[in-house]
Amino acid sequence: FNTAPAQWEVDDLVSHVVAKIVFSTGPQKPFDYLVPEPLVAEAIAGRRMRVPFGRGDRLVQGYCVEVAAKQIVPGKLKSIYEVVDDVTLLSRTMLDLTHWMADYYLCPWGQVLDAVVPAAVRGNAGTREVTLLSVPRETAMQLATLKLPAKQHAALSILAGASRPMTPPELANAAGCTQAPIMALRKKKLVQVEIRRISFAHFDDEPAEAEPPKELNPDQTAALRTILNAVEEERHQSVLLHGVTGSGKTEVYLQAIQKVVAAGKQAIVLVPEISLTPQTKHRFRARFSQIALLHSHMNDVERHWQWKRIASGHIPVVVGARSAIFAPTPRLGMIILDEEHESSFKQDTSPRYHARDVAAWRAAHEHAPLILGSATPSLESWRQTQAGEMTLVSMPRRVNDYPLPDVKTIDLRIDRKSQGRGAISRQLYQAIKRTIEEDGQMILLLNRRGYATHIQCPACGEKVVCPECEIPLTHHLADNVAICHYCDYRRPAPKSCPACDYTGIHFFGYGTQKLEAEVKARFPGVECLRMDSDTMKKPGSHEAALDRFRRGDAKILVGTQMIAKGLDFPNVTLVGVINADTALHFPDVRAGERTFQLITQVAGRTGRGHKGGQVLVQTLSPDHPAIEAATRHDYSLFAERELPFREKFHFSPFAKMVRLVARAEVASAPEAMLEEFAKQMVKVAEDLDLAIFLQGPAAAPIEKLRGQYRFHLLIKSHDGEKLREAVKLVAAKTKTPDDVIWTIDVDPVDM
């Protein structure tokens, strides 16, 4: 024995074409299928295929992620039933990207594939299948001798003489007959039938007046040179462009892209959804005639159309929010992330990817430079420049030598008595009055929408809260309703205390509605405009409001963080921050960073013209390092104070973090589950010789949401790769208790 000739084994192993299929739902691991001979030409990785699955051989659809010739034992594999797509949805690189994302973010591969290929593309929006008829050559040659009823003969002759294939209705029309003779020709196989998918969508690009590039100032020139060095070397390089608000970062992007386009390549520009303002769109359109602007109000037909234009390589510039990072550019030459610190670049549902990290992967694998820009860089990127992994370029001055605005804090603790009348302190009131007299415009920021932020009974102390989330309800004046800002629960605003019937129930706190009312009452006759998610529900309302403000029809713009970013209005000479502390006391390690960013960004909306600008920040904590650094426009000061704290307590950017959130209708179940998870983590970490730091499990900052109790667990380690491996191991072994839903968030942004 043991002498079976090698030949014998090889004979039984025949080389076959095998496709690896990943499903969107159901089993998470890929399955191998045989590609039958007739399908070999169209069975390409990156297309969807329908395959038999399970005991009943039900036909299900999955993504083909790999096709390879393999030696296999015949009969072991099922065969592909059909290839669904006639175009390839994902290139090899994009398939590799999805694989990396699934592995990195610890989520199912199929889920990532569904996120990367837009639903509009998967659903073939804006296309339809048409049947095309033509006459085979042999038939055409026998046409004269064919014995056929007159109508069929006439139709066949017309089709044979036509210059292109015709649809059945077209042919019926041309031959002046009904469908019956045509059906008969098809049955007799005298005509050739082809089914093709055609697109009926077309959109015109909005015209824009072309605008020549601006002459760059020395800072901009230096920044552009650094970026272009990276382009010319055609190697992956990351550049952090740290430019103060109004330093002209966009102009640098525009001229860098111009070089990329001239070299025949494509650029992807990511901006936060909120900054896809008409102004931004206009600036890009004025510079590039061929451009795809991707935004959330786009319908499926247009989205599919844009996707195909990009994939064909005809569109050199793609501008969009987070998911535009998946634009199927065949010749990527550069990726730009403007306002790279924005948390909207992180997706808050699975796959919980961060567009900045996906961009870094694409840039590295497609040999394209990555440009990150911000006035308030994320500490993650800042740290990378310190570690020498990213090149830092600074633009510390505004264009045209406009000075940065003067920022002053108004200490609400000592200014209390003068503040007696509502949300606007005496100092801010004076400044608004002066600005009106000088015919300037102003922005008042209050990061809370609604009218009053909580409703409480002064007699018994009862607070009106959401029955599902236990969060204080916000009073909205429009329909006189009380709304939960977490789950949108609504009830009529109470006229008396629901607990003790006392009729003097009180509405406390300030939202943008109440601020708007106060402004109107105290500055009668002055046009005031409010922008928050309540007033900006309709598509286009955002653009309309900004237009009104630009024209000067409104003097005062009141709003939430929506108005803090990206706007460029030279006539704005005053910014008032009504309450700088709203984000400060959140139990989140990034609370200080967010506050610094928000104040710096909103301050940046003023002084953008020759009239200068002033910023007044109302706060109860003027000595807080984040607020102090913001008033001085001093990013380095902020980073110098914040980084040691992050390092000491093992937070990002020094350690990698993974956050687990578990929720259920009873509080004990998610807590117990996470406790067990933590215990297992400790064990596995020991086995892997990995140092980890656990925080929790504890009640999540939003402890109850939509009737469910939420707990979270934060796991930190300096070895990100091993940390993910350990979490994966424990997650695989975790038995989820009934009714508990839990999620894993790698590199969490909100905590």
Is 265 within 8 Å of 231 (Cβ atoms)? no
Q: Applying CB under 6 A, does 302 fall inside the site for ligand ADP? A: no
Q: Which residues within the stretch 557-586 sit at the binding site for ligand ADP (CB under 6 A)?
A: 568
Give which of Zn ion, ligand ADP, none residue 487 binds (C-beta under 5 to 8 Å, depending on kind). Answer: Zn ion
Q: Where are the alpha helices (DSSP H) in 3-141?
A: 6-12, 92-104, 109-116, 119-122, 137-141
User: Which of 324, 289, 329 minimizes the C-alpha distance to 303?
Assistant: 324
Q: Applying CB under 6 A, does 246 fall inside the site for ligand ADP? A: yes
Q: Applying CB under 6 A, does 247 fall inside the site for ligand ADP? A: yes
- Residue from 159, 466, 599, 746 touching Zn ion (CB under 5 A): that is 466
Q: Applying CB under 6 A, does 405 fall inside the site for ligand ADP? A: no
177 is in an annotated binding site: no
CB of 251 to ligand ADP, least distance (A): 4
Write a three-state SS string for 291-341. EEEECCCCCHHHHHHHHHHHHCCCCCEEEECHHHHHCCCCCEEEEEEECCC
- Beta-carbon contacts of 561 under 8 Å, excluding residues fewer than 6 positions away, are 445, 447, 598
Helix (H, G, I), strand (E, B) or coil at 440: coil
**Sole residue written with tokens 């009926």:** 200
Interface with ligand ADP (CB under 6 A), residue total 16
Q: Applying CB under 6 A, does 376 fall inside the site for ligand ADP? A: no
CB of 217 to ligand ADP, least distance (A): 5
Distance CA 547, CA 545 (A): 5
- Residue from 85, 219, 251, 518 touching ligand ADP (CB under 6 A): that is 251
Q: Applying CB under 5 A, does 703 fall inside the site for Zn ion? A: no
Smaller CB separation from ligand ADP, 48 or 249: 249
Sort strands 506-508 and 528-531 into parallel, antiparallel or unpaired.
unpaired
In angstroms, the Cα distances linking 715 to 291, 520, 660, 728 are: 43, 49, 8, 13
Distance CA 181, CA 183 (A): 5
Q: Applying CB under 6 A, does 275 fall inside the site for ligand ADP? A: no
Q: Convert residues 493-532 into a mask of x (bound to ligand ADP by CB under 6 A) and - (unbound).
A: ----------------------------------------
In angstroms, the Cα distances linking 192 to 136, 149, 174, 187, 234 are: 6, 19, 18, 10, 49
Q: Is the peptide bond before 351 cis (omega within 30 degrees of 0)?
A: yes
- Residue from 46, 110, 243, 472 touching ligand ADP (CB under 6 A): that is 243
Q: Applying CB under 6 A, does 628 fall inside the site for ligand ADP? A: no
Smaller CB separation from ligand ADP, 568 or 675: 568
Smaller CB separation from ligand ADP, 246 or 272: 246
Is 553 within 8 Å of 423 (Cβ atoms)? no
Q: Applying CB under 5 A, does 300 fall inside the site for Zn ion? A: no
Smaller CB separation from Zn ion, 166 or 469: 469
CB of 471 to Zn ion, least distance (A): 6
CB of 109 to ligand ADP, least distance (A): 37
- Residue from 66, 114, 468, 628 touching Zn ion (CB under 5 A): that is 468
CB of 489 to Zn ion, least distance (A): 4
User: Which of 97, 165, 120, 481 minimizes the C-alpha distance to 310?
Assistant: 120
Q: Which residues within the stretch 206-235 sit at the binding site for ligand ADP (CB under 6 A)?
A: 214-217, 220
The helix (run of H) or strand (run of E) holding residue 212 is: none
Distance CA 23, CA 471 (A): 39
- Residue from 109, 361, 489, 711 touching Zn ion (CB under 5 A): that is 489
Distance of CA 639 to the CA centre of its chain: 26
Q: Which residues fall in the annotated binding site for Zn(2+)? A: 457, 460, 466, 469, 484, 487, 497, 500
Contacting residues toward ligand ADP, per CB under 6 A: 214-217, 220, 243, 245-251, 399-400, 568
